Amino acid sequence: MEQRNFTRITEFLLLGFSEDADVQPFLFGLFLSMYLITVFGNLLIILAVSSDPHLHTPMYFFLSNLSFVDICFTSTTVPKMLQNIQTHSNFISYESCITQMSFFLLFAGLENFLLTVMAYDRYVAICHPLHYTVIMNPRLCGLLVLVCWVTSSLHSLLETSLVLPLSFCPNTEIPLFICDLKQLVELACSDTFVNNLVLYLVSVLLAGGPLAGIFYSYTKIVSSILRISSAQGKYKAFSTCASHLSVVSLFYCSSISVHLSSTGAHGSHSSAIASVMYTMVAPMLNPFIYSLRNKDLKGALKILFGSETKRGI
């Protein structure tokens, strides 16, 4: 049998993007700008929702939670990437890699579950408008968010506990700028049958399940909208779902592209570009998608900036 070196490694190499020194300042400025826009935009959503009593509704409660998760999601990976670009060192310690992977799984799962909960909220609002305030009461909303946190935390702990016993060969290179679970499992020298089994089972349950729930919710929503007689009523009902549909499409399309590109050649930058779409572009665009066509949110943002100006005076 082939002998392999199971010496415990102390660090991984994140290949990331181009190693050309002339490109590094541009990448640093680009990703830093995207990160600051993401944090600032999502923070504005949270402040606007919390400061305006008219936005203290289930829809905006879930939106503010999604904005908080987006900030944490990008903060899990981007600062380390910026540090690597600035220091011209793509190494990450074993402990830091496992920690980053754990939090990445946590917040990616939370985003997935919160989008499903928001789809259910839109379903109740459109299909059962007369019972909306009774069904979507504060207790249920808080319970739904708690279930999202608990489920995602348990998933992260499960996957992390299965990765910790693995042994890795020397010279481990990850063709991304983040410590991705699938890539870590592929780099292991020890038996990964259980890891792959759990990975695929969890993918079906925790990704396919919420996606099926979103699809079912919007099937019922479309059916209800088509029964509305007036064109204005149809437009108003659909406009309340347009932003959420856009965010769902962006999130799932970018996440699917990451998994599809990871099956290709590791020598290309397709996996790294897809991961940027997933971890940076989607969270950055979410505040714009929700605010550009939302009169209530734009009004709250204007009041927020107006109150800050008055305080400054």
Quick check: helix, strand or coil at residue 181?
helix
Residue 59 CB coordination number (10 Å): 22
What's the CA dihedral at 186, 11, 274, 118 to 10 degrees?
90
Q: Which domains does the chain have, with CATH numbers?
A: 11-312 (1.20.1070.10)
Are residues 119 and 244 in contact, defined by beta-carbon separation less than 8 angstroms?
Answer: yes
Q: How confident is the model at residue 7 (pLDDT cuts 50, 70, 90)?
A: low
Asked whether the predicted pLDDT for residue 157 surpasses 60, the reply is: yes
Q: Considering the chain, what percentage of its residues have pLDDT values greater than 90?
A: 49
Question: Is the model's pLDDT at 295 over the cut of 90?
Answer: no
> What ranges in 164-281 are assigned the alpha helix state H?
181-187, 193-202, 209-226, 231-262, 270-276
For the purposes of burial, counting CB atoms within 10 Å of the CB of 47, is it exposed (0-12), middle (13-18) or buried (19 or more)?
Answer: middle
pLDDT of residue 127: 92
266 — pLDDT class (breaks 50, 70, 90): very low
CB-neighbour burial class of residue 208 (10 A; exposed 0-12, middle 13-18, buried 19+): exposed
45-103 pLDDT, tens digit per residue, is: 999 999 888 899 999 999 999 999 999 999 999 999 999 888 888 889 999 999 999 99
Separation CA 289–CA 308 (nearest Å): 24
Q: Assess whether pLDDT exceeds 60 at residue 311.
A: no
Percent over 70 (pLDDT), the chain: 90
Model confidence pLDDT, tens digit, residues 92-101: 999 999 999 9
Which of 241, 298, 218, 145 is CA-nearest to residue 136? Answer: 145
pTM of the model: 0.90
Secondary structure E strands in the chain:
11-14, 91-93, 173-174
Q: What is the mean pLDDT of residues 257-263?
A: 69
Give the per-residue pLDDT at 102. 96
Average pLDDT, the chain: 86
Selection from 119, 85, 125 nearest residue 249 by Cα = 119
User: 10 to each of 3, 82, 179, 183, 184, how far by Cα in Å?
Assistant: 21, 21, 14, 17, 14
The structure tokens 């099937």 sit at: 219
Q: Residue 237 contacts by C-beta under 8 Å, 6 or more apart in sequence?
A: 126, 221, 224, 225, 228
Residue 187: closest CA among 124, 302, 101: 101
**Residue 23: what are its φ and ψ, rounded to 5°?**
-90, -25
